[in-house]
A and B are shown apart, each in its own frame.
Chain A
Amino acid sequence: MSDARAEILRRVRAALVDVPAGEDPEDVAVARGYRTRDAEASREEIVDRFCAMVEDYNARVHRVAAPDLADTIGRLCREGRLRQLVVPPALPEQWRPDGIELVEDHDLEVSRLDGMDGVLSGCASAIAQTGTIVLDGGARSGRRAITLVPDHHLCVVEAEQVLALVPEAIARVAGAVRERRAPITLVSGPSATSDIELDRVEGVHGPRVLDIVLVERGATEGRVDVDREVGRTGSSAADAHGALENSCRSRPVPFDVEVREST
């Protein structure tokens, strides 16, 4: 094995004879002229954009005020005939619906997960530009397997978790990756494939139904910062997030957005 290592490194160095010996990697200029934050969009516009993008994937978005959260989740479960949901152990109490069996994930076997009707989780952040939720294996996201094996994923996103652009989301989870090797999963809509005639259809191996429950800002009482709740991540990644939050206003909108067929 070490022979292969030495040989490959030797080949690489031989191939790079044209690179001056004194050149540092940073000497190769990388112009980052792309957007890293959206200074123009208001908080409302960003959240609206997130919802529109999620729906474009044929996922469903339900916008609720915080006091209605648990009831909405309960209603969605009844509509989807979901009797038993797996949840991360640290799922906030005020998210838990009445009358639905919630099974906390204490390292459940995958066969057990396969028997669940669905999963209820939160997320680490969300991206408006792409309609993406970011899972980080933390207290709200849970282990990777729980949001993968069950066929129906209910994901709670709080409005202030929605970031405008991809670079903000990458920066936001950097601390968790560096400090606790957090496994990151970006989820954009339900499982899908374009493998037959490059035509996108939903539903292969991951959850075939994705319900995003968006909690409007200003209505969550006693909200705990996700990073601090996990207790292992730094706050350095949150600066882009903070800039956006400064411009937000509270706007509880207690209604469900109709499901729109994407073209």
Chain B
Amino acid sequence: MSAPTSLPVAGSRTPGPREPFPDAARRALADEQLRHNIGHATKTIREKRARVVGELPDWEALREAGRAIKERVLRHLDDYLVELETSVQRAGGHVHWARDADEANRVVGDLVAAHGAEEVVKVKSITTEETQLNEALAERGIHCWETDLAQLIIQLGEDSPSHILVPAIHRNRAEIRELFMRTLDEAPDDLSDDPRALAEVARRHLRRKFLAAKVGISGANFAVAETGTVSVVESEGNGRMCTSLPEVLISVMGIEKLIPRWQDFEVYLQTLPRSSTAERMNPYTSLWTGVAPEDGPREFHLVLVDNGRTNVLADVVGRQALNCIRCSACLNVCPVYERTGGHAYGSVYPGPIGAILTPMLEGIDRAGSLPYASSLCGACYAVCPVKIDIPRVLVHLRHLEVEHTAREGGLRARLGPERVAMRVMAGVFGSRRRYEAAQRAARLGQWPLAHGGRIQRLPGMLAGWTTMRDLRPVPAESFREWWRRRSEPGEDG
């Protein structure tokens, strides 16, 4: 079956199209400090990742298994969701369903309010950033304490995340020290910019919150349909704090985060840490199954969120984007991300995965420039631990974007210069006679433009092509012409 030619628009809290990627990228590229911070961090992690991945002789088999398990889940998502619901309930938990961000936030808000809590502790969750849960809870007078160090840095700086794994990757240690000095009472006057000292301040700041919290909120890296087990993979211990100390735990999870069987952890707990933090294993992984007897929260709620995911599922080519386990390896290897950073993507999902996920989650009309935020070099596909063919999906989405623009943009879009040019090109490339005639015409027409074997500036509407690159002129004799000449009898003996 062929892919649908259009994508529905997902529900979202912020209406209207996003700022086009090229505009946002241009601004980011002008920030030298930002480029330095991101460049340094991604280079470090790329090298470490390559080293720990190289330790596993069966890495490719793990990638393939990781991909196949997700394919199985996605093709039978309805069955697995129902199985998960049954398993969680059997284990003493409650399951809630949310069609969109607002519904998810309302469910969580109602649960928190029902327990009379005015403060909650929260472990980093991209899904709740996507739904803007903190803002929604704040409107109801509930304060969410972000407990992940990077997320705390973002919250204190009233900033927004720029990386899936390390949301404050755009901030260096000196900037973080300055922020802590300004905003945290726990920061001593002689605070250094040693990451260890900065982490100590965060520890002291949050410990009281952890010990007093009645309600904890988490995301979920995986949920097992068979057993109802939910997991959070983390480093600092804040995930363990949030999921095991409060009386009530609420986990918010995208419907695609399912894995069928307990056994399947054996794949992802090998591929995720090595791909994300470039460690053999992250410091802490918590796996809980409903309410454990005499240990941890007495009440567990799992909120299953769609919020556009079924749009992605409906796209047969793009569906594989739901394989994503949020490792961020594709960000760290991407030459575009390395230069622009995450904010230019205007989404909680930046980088190559964001360039395909955001337009499908939110609709191509809102984020149509994102599939172009790539040189199609393929590095993202090569590192992806669940083998998402990001370049293929990018090209597919570019096609949808062009179709969408032609359909929605009216006569003007249909007669737009790029579209007309592409049509002409298609005609020229479609016939040998026309192609060779075009070559001859170009040879005649290019002489005022070509200097020293290159064309550095094209005129008029074609100028955009040469702003970033030179063009080789059409040569005096083409390969075809040369071939014909040497094959003619008597020419070459």
Contact = CB atoms under 8 A, between A and B. Distances in A.
A170 interface: yes
A32 interface: yes
A25 interface: yes
Task: Tell me the interface secondary structure of chain A in the complex.
Answer: loop
Given A28-B72, A197-B40, A205 B147 contact: yes
B295 to A, nearest CB: 5
Contact of A34 (B61, B82, B169, B260): B61
B372 interface: no
A13 interface: yes
A202 B398 CA distance: 44
A198 B283 contact: no
Interface in A165-220: 166-167, 170-171, 174, 177-178, 180-207
Contact of A194 (B235, B285, B288): B235
Contacts of B82: 9
Contacts of A107: 294
B77 A12 contact: yes
A66 interface: no
B97 A170 contact: no
Contacts of B78: 9, 12-13, 16
A197 B172 contact: yes
Contact of B210 (A17, A28, A183, A205): A205
B295 A1 contact: no
Given A34-B58, A111-B211, A132-B281, A197 B306 contact: no
Given A4-B103, A180-B293, A12 B260 contact: no
A30 interface: yes
Given A132-B281, A196-B195, A16 B313 contact: yes
Nearest to B213: A110
A9 B44 CA distance: 43
A251 interface: no
A196 B202 CA distance: 12
Interface stretch (A71-79, A116-124, A141-149): A141-149
A81 interface: no
Nearest to A174: B262
Contacts of B238: 204-205
Interface stretch (B62-70, B343-351, B445-453): B62-70
Contacts of B491: none
Nearest to A4: B97
B458 interface: no
Most buried by A among B62, B196, B227, B240: B240
Q: How large is the interface on B (under 10, 10 to 19, 20 to 34, 35 or more residues)?
A: 35 or more
B244 to A, nearest CB: 4
B1 A18 contact: yes
A contact residues, range: 35 or more
A34 B267 contact: yes
A191 B173 contact: no
Nearest to B150: A195
B421 interface: no
A69 B304 CA distance: 47
B199 A203 contact: yes
A200 B245 CA distance: 26
B68 A4 contact: no
Given A192-B235, A205-B237, A25 B280 contact: no
B77 A16 contact: yes
Tell me which of B1, B198, B266 has the highest count of chain A C-beta atoms within 10 A of its own C-beta.
Answer: B266
A48 interface: no
Given A34-B65, A181-B292, A204-B203, A25 B287 contact: no
A53 interface: yes
A204 B295 CA distance: 23
A24 B72 CA distance: 9
Contact of B296 (A149, A171, A183): A183
B236 A206 contact: yes
Contacts of B91: 181
Contacts of B140: none
A224 interface: no
B244 A18 contact: no
A155 B37 CA distance: 38
B467 interface: no
Contacts of A39: none
A25 B281 contact: no
A145 B149 contact: no
B166 interface: yes
Contact of B289 (A34, A57, A181, A197): A181
Contacts of B166: 194-195, 198
B24 interface: no
A23 B81 contact: no
B64 A33 contact: yes
A33 B68 CA distance: 12
Contacts of B260: 25
Contacts of B44: 197-199
B269 A34 contact: no
B283 A187 contact: yes
Contact of A185 (B202, B270, B280, B284): B284
B295 A144 contact: yes
A144 B281 CA distance: 19
A200 B277 contact: yes
Contacts of B285: 184-186
Contact of B75 (A28, A35, A198): A28
Nearest to A33: B61
B290 interface: yes
Contacts of B79: 25
B390 interface: no
A195 B77 contact: no
Contacts of A182: 289, 292
B413 interface: no
Given A183-B292, A195-B149, A205-B206, A12 B237 contact: no
B99 interface: yes
B330 interface: no
17 contacts: A4-B97, A15-B314, A19-B76, A145-B245, A177-B229, A177-B287, A183-B296, A184-B286, A184-B288, A186-B281, A193-B150, A196-B149, A203-B199, A204-B202, A204-B235, A205-B207, A205-B240
Interface of B: 1, 37, 40-42, 44-45, 57-58, 61-62, 64-65, 68-69, 71-72, 75-82, 91-92, 96-99, 103, 107, 147-150, 153, 165-166, 168-169, 172-173, 176, 195-196, 198-200, 202-203, 206-207, 210-211, 227, 229, 235-238, 240-241, 244-245, 255, 260, 262-263, 265-267, 269-270, 273, 277, 279-296, 304, 306, 310-311, 313-314, 316
Closest 9 CB pairs of A and B: A206-B237, A33-B61, A205-B237, A15-B314, A204-B236, A167-B266, A130-B281, A195-B150, A11-B310
Given A14-B314, A29-B68, 18 more contacts: A1-B107, A8-B99, A12-B77, A12-B81, A16-B77, A25-B72, A30-B68, A33-B64, A53-B280, A144-B244, A149-B211, A177-B287, A183-B287, A185-B285, A188-B281, A194-B165, A199-B44, A203-B196
